[in-house]
Structure 1
Amino acid sequence: MLRTVANIIAAIAVMFLAFLGMVKVGGWYLDAEERQVRDGVKDPRTAILPVIDVIR
């Protein structure tokens, strides 16, 4: 019984950490995307988020 509860808690912890990892990586990717558009590496038309003030 105790082992089953521990396995369930461990599974929930792993899913939570995986979700946090996806959020962190997604935020990093979108942050890097804005920098790439501003540096001219990426085309602003293909950006996921609108980048404001690209052309100066």
Structure 2
Amino acid sequence: MYDYLKALHARSCQEPELQKVRAELDQAYREINARLGQQDQETLLQLADLENELREETS
């Protein structure tokens, strides 16, 4: 029974392909990094950290 449920889960619950999103994220990071000064980059990283913290709390 366990093997059947495991196989059923593997078939129906596949991880989404996020390669395109990751590539876009990497490109956006490079553009921001090239345009911002050091202090602005630190502020942006703090903002991202706080956003991640809020998402963790809500989930």
Q: TM-score, normalised by structure 2?
A: 0.39
Which is bigger in relative contact order (C-alpha 8 A, separation at least 6)?
Answer: 1
